[in-house]
Structure 1
Amino acid sequence: MSCAVVGPMVGYQLAGFKRVQEVLAQPNVLEKFIDDPEVARQVRSTFVGFYPLEMNSDGDKVVQMAMKNPDSYVVKEQREGEGNNYVGDDIIKLFNEVGSDERRCAYTLMEKIRPKPIDNVFVTASGFEEMKAVSELGTFGVILACGDKIIENFSSGHLLRTKPSGSNDGRCLIGAAVLDSPFLV
C-alpha cells in the first residue's frame, strides 16, 4: 500500500554485477551506451581486464593464463556482495577443483588492481598503528526515473574503505578493513 520506492530498476541493479561489467569491458559494447567516442574512450581507460570463464577453448585458455601468473589476477564470484575472492595460490587451488567443469562459470577473472600504498594510521580500541594502506572509494547516487524520463539524478555520498596494503580482503564487517575518511589535498 506504500508509494515508497523499494528497489532500483533491474538495469541499474544489474550494472553492479561482475558478469555485466565483464560484458561492458568487451570491445564495442560500452560504445552502444555512450555516443561520444572520446567519452567512451575515457571511461574504458578506467577498466581493468575481465576474462570470461566460459566452458569453451577460450575459457580454458583464461584458466591456464591465470594459473601461470596467479598474482596478477583475482577471481570473484558472480553474485551480489561477493565476499569470497581468490588470489595467488588460492586461484590455483580453485581452478584445480573447478577448472574443467561447469562450476567455473560461477566466477569471473579480473586483472588485479594495484593502487599505490600510502602512509596511514589505523586507530583501534587498544591504540594506533602506522602502516602502508590502500583505499577504495565508493560513491552513492540517487536516480529516480519513470520509464525513460529521469526525474532525479544526483550524488548522495561516499564510503571509503581502507585496508593494510598487503591484505587481499577489503571487508569491513569481518575486521579486514576499516571505514575511513578522505583527506583531500
Structure 2
Amino acid sequence: MVVFRWEHSEEIEVQFDKVIQFLHDPPTMLNTASHMVEVRQDPNDASLYHITERLNAFSTVKFSAHFEYRDDGMTSRWNAPMNVNAESQWIVKRVDSDKPGAAPRSLLREVARVHVPFLFYHYVKHKYVKIHSRLPKLFEAAIVERDEQSQPSGPAQTQIQAQDSVVTGSALKAPVQDGTYQADVNAPGTGAGLDSQQT
C-alpha cells in the first residue's frame, strides 16, 4: 500500500458563506464534475453517499463517500474498489481586499491523503491530480450559475430563464427520484467531461 498526499489552494470570486453552503450540499458539489454518473444518498445515513463515476467511454466505477460538515468547510472519506481509499478536507478562508467595490473572494484549499495499492499508484495519482486541480474553478462556476438562476426575472425574461434552468438542471443533474441524482450526459450545458482532455 502506498500513500500520496495532495494539497492545492486557489482563490475564487465567491463569497465565503456561499462556498460553505455549496460544500455542504454533496449532490450539487459532486455533480459539478461531468464524469459523475449517479450520486445517491444512503437511506439510513444522511452523511453517506453512493457514487457512480465514469472512468472512460466504456466503464464506470462505484464507490462510497462519507461527509462531515465543518464551519470552515468539509471533510470526507472515500472507499473505492481495489482497496483505494482517500481522506479529503476542504478548507475555506475569507480573502480581504483593499480595493473599494472589489468582488468577494475566498481561498479554497484541499488537503488529501490517498491510500492505493502500489500496482495502481501512478494511474490513481494521475487521475486524482488531474481532476482535483480543476475543482475550485468548477465550483466557482457552479456557484455563480446557481446565484444567477436564483435572481428574479421580469416577464420578458421568463421564457429565457425557464430554458436556462432546463440546461442547468441537466448540467447539475437535478434529483429525479428518492434522493437519486442522475446525469444526462447528452444534455446541453454538461461540458466535455474532465477526462476528455489529454495531458
User: Shorter-chain TM-score: which interval?
Assistant: under 0.3
- Structure having the higher strand fraction is 2
TM (norm. structure 2) is 0.25
Larger gyration radius, structure 1 or structure 2: 1
